Structure formats: structure tokens, C-alpha cells
């Protein structure tokens, strides 16, 4: 396909990745954002997101001239062939997705784009949004093209997606969007806009459901004397179950799974479809931070007031700097409410920062300093490599609570420390 002219509105995790990777695929791209400081930094090739290869691609494509950034809407909007919306769709009233940013952008661009320009909705939007945009813009060239990238793997997932989904009643426009991905090796699924919009929610909610299921199984394992890592391994070997999203943790979080589960529940309610499975998925996750807090309280001897708890990991998962809706911070909030004194360390959260009630310090050993309990909340691999003798010098006998099943039990035991795990019976607890 010849190089196309593309505008991407919103330069966050999705928009910046989309802009940079389309430039990498040979297209001419302008990334636009309301955040003037961000646009200025990106124009200097300064990328603040922790995403492997993204900064390098942005720098190279700025140099190649295929990528540039604009504040507000680009002045050249009338010349572009495609405009991608990658603005936020956070949780609004009653759990439904708040489409304010999408509406604002559409109101601004409607007079500016050319008749042949295809409007592509990459933001996660409720079923029916593309149809409403078609009606409000009075044009058929609107395509749903949901994004499935994971934070921490954004570039890899964009350039090698497991699928590209394009949905529109305008098949010609949909095919044009699909062709933009030539150069990635992904299977393309062409659907109606409603189906494409629903694929996105259906996928995220299914992942959330799997995690709530496995987190509850972990709880059951503790009661029954089974071991969740063995149980999950046994399940993984069944290809019908699949091998991923079976590791228990402090709950699922991040900027998308929590908001998308709520949004689909809201959509279901509006459609008068009872969805108890999704309701239970969300409720189970809300319980998870309390369960972890209970474990930490127990490890602290029954009360948390005035107890120093060190938190290992603050981001919502390893490999990202994102703390939005982080389960680690949900646990921290509950601990602080009971009077615990919190320090935390995370390789991607700057030292010296105060995150809620957590004072961020420079190393895992600084977190251990004087702590009665150390809780692993994010699965950063470096926590599995800790020098446990250094931990014992920082604090004589902290109890280690490992919510991610990450730590080598034998090494922790060798250092004479008590390890409380999730999903297996702990002698100290029973």
C-alpha cells in the first residue's frame, strides 16, 4: 500500500504507539494532543512512557520526517486520509464509559476533514458508538478498530498483533483501514461496527473473569491444602483452557480491565441483559485487596496500627510505569486506613515521591529497613533475585507476604524468614 497520511488524536499509550508504529510501517503520521507540554517533549523525541522500543522508534521516525506532533488538532487535518481517535474513555456515571473526549474531538474535526477521510475509532467505546458517529457526522466512512496492545509490550503487540479487527457498514472504508496494517502479519477480522466494539470488551472482560476465577481458586487452595501453582499448571496443560492469565495476584488492575468490566456491565444493564458472571467478576476483584490486607494484618500479628509495612511493587503489573488503578495502591490504601506506616519501592516509580500514603524509597532493601512485614505486590522479576541476607540486616524478622507467587521459597527460608504465600496453605496461618 502506498504511504497514507494519518492523524492520530491522543498520544498516550495507544495513540503514541499507533502514531510511531504507523510511521514505522511507512505512513506519514501526525500525532496530536491537547497536552502542550507532552507535544513539545515528543517533538524533541522525549518519551516519558516506559515502553520498550517506543522512544527509539519515535526518535527515528521524527528524523525520517514520517512522524511529527501537533498541539490541538493538526492544521493539516483537511489533507489526511485517516484520522484515528485514541483519546481516553474513562469510567463515567453508573460505570458507563465517559465519551466526552471522543465527542469533543469529533465536534472539532467535523468541519475540517475531507469527504474521503476515514474516521477510525481506536479508543475503547461502547457498542453503538460508531453508528452514532456515522449519524452525527453524516458520513459512512467511520470504522471501529479496537486496540488490544498490553502496556509494557505496546510496540511488539502493535507490530505483531494476534488480530486486527475492523468493523464498519462501509466495507470499502474498513478494507482501507485493514490495509494500513500491511507489514504486520496479523489475521484481519472484518465485522459490523457493533461486533468490533464488542470484541474489545468481550476480550478484556474474559481476561478479568479468568483472573477472578483463579484468585478465588487460590483462596480455595489455601482452605483445602492444595497448591494453586500446581493447580494452574495442570489447567494450563489443557489447550482449551489456555496457558495465560492463570497466575493469582492482589487483584487485576490497570487503566482498562477495571473500567471495561464496569462499562460492559453498564451496557448489559441498558440492554436489559442480566450478566451475573460479570458482576461476580468485579465483586470478586473488589474483595481481593481486602483479602491481601487480611493476610498482611495476620502477618503483622493481628493489628496494623503503627506497624511498618514495606511494599515491593506499586505499578499495576510488572513491565510498566503505570500506577492507574493499581491493585498495589488499593492494598496500600486499606493498610493506611488501619494505621500502617508504608514505604514502597518500584523500579518504575521515582524515589522520593509520595504515592498516596506510600513514601517511595530507593531500593527493596530501603523498604525493608525496620519493616515488620514486606509485601510483594507487583511481579517485578528483580524481587525474585533479592539478597535475603541483606533483607535480614535491614530488619531482623520481617514476615514476607508474596501475593504474586514470585519468590523462591527455599531462599527465603534459608535466610530464616517466614514466607506467607497466596494459594497454598501456610503453616504459620493454620
Buried b (16+ CB within 10 A) or exposed e, 119-153: bbbbbbbbbebbbbbbeeeebebbbbbbbbbebbe
Minimal distance, residue 395 CB to ligand NAI, in Å: 36
Minimal distance, residue 128 CB to ligand NAI, in Å: 15
Angle between helix axes 13-24 and 54-64 (nearest 10 degrees) is: 50
Strands (E), 100-238: 118-121, 142-144, 164-167, 188-191
- Does residue 317 belong to the site contacting ligand UGA (CB under 6 A)? yes
Q: Name the 3-class secondary structure at 143.
A: strand
User: Cβ closer to ligand UGA: 80 or 331?
Assistant: 331
Q: Residues in contact with ligand UGA, total (CB under 6 A)?
A: 21
User: Cβ closer to ligand UGA: 316 or 388?
Assistant: 316
Residue 308 phi/psi, 5-degree rounding, is -85, 115
89-128 footprint of ligand NAI as x/- string (CB under 6 A): x-----------x--xx-----------------xx----
Q: What is the DSSP letter of 149?
A: P
240-279 footprint of ligand NAI as x/- string (CB under 6 A): ---------------xx-----------------------
- Does residue 34 belong to the site contacting ligand NAI (CB under 6 A)? yes
**Residues 322-341 interacting with ligand UGA (rule: CB under 6 A):** 327
**Residues 73-92 interacting with ligand NAI (rule: CB under 6 A):** 86-89
Residue 140 phi/psi, 5-degree rounding, is -90, -15
Minimal distance, residue 287 CB to ligand UGA, in Å: 14
| Cell numbers linked to 215 | 484468585
Q: Of residues 103, 148, 227, 333, which one binds ligand UGA by CB under 6 A?
A: 148
Name every residue whose Cβ is closer than 8 Å to that of residue 397 and which is 6 or more positions away in sequence.
416, 417, 418
- Does residue 186 belong to the site contacting ligand UGA (CB under 6 A)? no
Choices 13-21, 132-140, 284-292, 336-344; region in contact with ligand NAI by CB under 6 A: 13-21
Q: Reply yes or no on whether 256 is catalytic.
A: yes
Question: What burial class does residue 177 get, using C-beta atoms within 10 Å of its C-beta: 0-12 exposed, 13-18 middle, 19+ buried?
Answer: buried
Could you list the residues that contact ligand NAI (CB under 6 A)? 9-15, 32-35, 38, 86-89, 101, 104-105, 123-124, 147, 149, 151, 255-256
Amino acid at each position: 500500500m502506498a504511504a497514507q497520511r494519518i492523524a492520530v488524536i491522543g498520544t498516550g499509550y495507544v495513540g503514541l504507539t499507533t502514531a510511531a508504529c504507523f510511521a514505522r510501517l511507512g505512513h506519514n503520521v501526525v500525532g496530536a494532543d491537547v497536552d502542550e507540554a507532552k507535544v513539545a517533549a515528543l517533538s524533541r523525541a522525549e518519551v516519558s512512557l516506559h515502553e520498550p522500543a517506543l522512544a527509539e522508534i519515535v526518535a527515528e521516525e521524527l528524523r525520517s520526517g514520517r512522524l511529527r506532533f501537533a498541539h490541538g488538532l493538526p492544521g493539516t487535518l483537511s489533507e489526511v486520509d485517516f484520522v484515528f481517535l485514541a483519546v481516553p474513555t474513562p469510567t463515567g456515571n453508573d460505570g458507563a464509559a465517559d465519551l466526552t473526549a471522543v465527542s469533543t474531538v469529533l465536534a472539532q474535526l467535523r468541519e475540517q476533514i475531507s469527504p474521503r477521510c476515514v474516521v477510525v475509532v481506536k479508543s475503547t467505546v461502547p457498542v453503538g458508538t460508531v453508528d452514532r458517529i456515522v449519524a452525527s457526522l453524516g458520513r459512512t466512512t467511520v470504522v471501529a478498530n479496537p486496540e488490544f496492545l498490553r502496556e509494557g509490550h505496546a510496540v511488539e503487540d502493535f507490530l505483531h498483533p494476534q488480530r486486527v479487527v475492523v468493523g464498519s457498514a462501509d466495507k470499502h472504508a474498513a478494507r482501507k483501514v485493514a490495509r494500513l496494517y500491511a507489514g504486520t502479519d496479523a489475521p484481519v477480522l472484518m465485522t459490523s461496527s457493533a461486533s468490533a466494539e464488542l470484541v474489545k470488551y468481550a476480550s478484556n472482560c474474559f481476561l478479568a473473569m479468568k483472573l477472578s476465577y483463579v484468585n478465588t481458586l487460590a483462596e480455595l487452595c489455601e482452605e483445602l491444602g492444595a497448591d494453586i501453582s500446581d493447580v494452574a499448571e495442570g489447567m494450563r496443560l489443557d489447550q482449551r483452557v489456555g496457558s495465560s492469565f492463570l497466575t493469582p495476584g492482589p487483584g487485576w488492575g490497570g487503566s482498562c480491565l477495571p473500567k471495561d468490566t464496569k462499562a460492559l456491565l453498564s451496557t448489559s444493564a441498558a440492554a436489559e441483559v442480566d450478566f451475573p458472571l460479570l458482576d461476580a467478576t468485579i465483586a470478586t476483584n473488589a474483595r481481593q485487596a481486602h483479602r491481601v490486607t487480611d493476610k498482611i494484618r495476620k502477618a503483622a500479628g493481628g493489628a496494623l496500627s503503627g506497624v511498618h509495612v514495606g511494599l515491593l511493587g506499586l505499578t499495576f503489573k510488572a513491565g510498566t510505569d503505570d500506577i492507574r488503578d493499581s491493585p498495589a495502591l488499593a492494598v496500600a490504601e486499606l493498610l493506611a486506613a488501619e494505621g500502617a506506616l508504608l514505604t514502597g519501592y518500584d523500579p518504575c516509580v521515582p524515589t522520593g515521591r509520595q504515592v498516596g500514603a506510600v513514601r517511595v524509597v530507593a531500593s527493596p532493601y530501603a523498604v525493608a529497613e525496620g519493616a515488620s512485614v514486606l509485601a510483594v505486590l507487583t511481579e517485578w522479576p528483580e524481587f525474585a533475585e533479592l539478597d535475603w541476607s541483606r533483607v535480614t540486616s535491614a530488619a531482623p524478622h520481617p514476615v514476607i507476604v508474596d501475593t504474586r507467587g514470585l519468590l523462591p521459597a527455599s531462599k527465603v527460608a534459608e535466610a530464616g524468614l517466614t514466607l506467607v504465600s497466596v494459594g497454598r496453605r501456610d503453616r504459620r496461618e493454620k
